[in-house]
Amino acid sequence: MRIIAGAFRGRALASVGKGDAGAHLRPTTDRVRESLFSVLTSLGVIADARVLDLFAGTGALGLEALSRGAEHVTFVDDGRVAQGLIRKNIGLTGATHTQLIRRDATKLGPNSDAPYDLVFLDPPYGKGIGEKALLAAVDGGWIADNALIVWEENAPMMAPPGFEMHDARKYGDTHITLLWREDGAAS
């Protein structure tokens, strides 16, 4: 795994190795990240964005966004192994403007900072917890109006109330669903 483009281009990230089976660590492949970030760049959503990386795993998605000009990334993961990998990868890239929160993404609670413009939602596949985490983020004031949600799952996802489908793409067994948060959607 490596950073594809931007300020940290080519930097190798820490390997998951044998990882932690219970943590369901499944990093987004370089090929999928490259395709995804091509789409995000064409939408103009990365530059100066505040990024929320839910179920952050290794932190590769958030770090790629920082490398390409995002202003800040908050990584959220409650796994001990994931926390260690994220810290290591922040160190390997020399990234600044990051925050690491050890919390269950389905129980975020209130956000005490500005809401986020770009949200990566990469829950363990097939557990049905992506929508629960998304709604917890909305309820806690984590997601800005008109924010883009990048939802990675093993099946296509439907837009929950308050969100509008933008695009859906399939890469092998990975489905990426892009949703816009509707302006003024109820929290």
The CATH number covering residue 100 comes to 3.40.50.150
Q: Does residue 142 lie in a domain region?
A: yes
Q: What is the pLDDT of residues 9-49, one digit of tens each?
A: 888 888 776 444 445 566 677 788 889 999 999 999 999 99
> Looking at residue 17, what is its pLDDT?
60
In this predicted structure, the answer to whether residue 184 has a pLDDT above a threshold of 80 is no
pLDDT on residue 9: 86
DSSP 97-164: SEEEE-S-GGG-----SPPEEEEEE-PPTTSS-HHHHHHHHHHTT-EEEEEEEEEEESS--PPPTTEE
Structural domain containing residue 50: 37-181
Whole-angstrom distance, CA of residue 181 vs CA of residue 183: 6
Q: What share of the chain is helix, strand, coil (3-state, %, to 5)?
A: 30, 25, 45
Q: Kindly report, residue by residue over 69-121, the tens digit of the pLDDT.
A: 999 999 999 999 899 999 999 999 999 999 999 999 999 999 999 999 999 99
- Spatial distance between the Cα atoms of 27 and 122, rounded to a whole number of angstroms: 9
57/55 Cα distance (integer angstroms)? 6
- The number of folded domains in the chain is 1
CA distance 68 to 152: 20
Distance of CA 4 to the CA centre of its chain: 16
Whole-angstrom distance, CA of residue 46 vs CA of residue 19: 29
Any domain includes 13: no
Residue 160 in any domain: the answer is: yes
Distance CA 76, CA 120 (A): 10
Averaged over 45-56, what is the pLDDT? Answer: 97
Cα 144 from Cα 153, distance rounded (Å): 22
* pLDDT (0 to 100) of residue 11: 86
Burial of residue 145, with CB atoms counted within 10 A of its CB: 0-12 exposed, 13-18 middle, 19 or more buried = middle
Within a domain: 6: no
The gap from C-alpha 95 to its chain's centroid, in whole angstroms, comes to 16
CA distance linking residue 176 with residue 154, whole number of Å: 9
Q: Note whether 51 and 74 are within 8 A (CB).
A: yes
Residue 23 lies in a domain: no
What pLDDT does 148 receive?
Answer: 98
Residue 84 within any structural domain of the chain = yes
User: pLDDT at position 172, please?
Assistant: 87
Residue with tokens 């100066």, as numbered in its chain: 48
* Predicted TM-score (pTM) of this structure: 0.91
In this structure, is residue 3 part of a structural domain? no
> Would you give the DSSP letter of residue 159?
P
Q: Quick check: is 16 in a domain?
A: no
Give the integer Cα–Cα distance in Å for 99 and 107.
Answer: 17
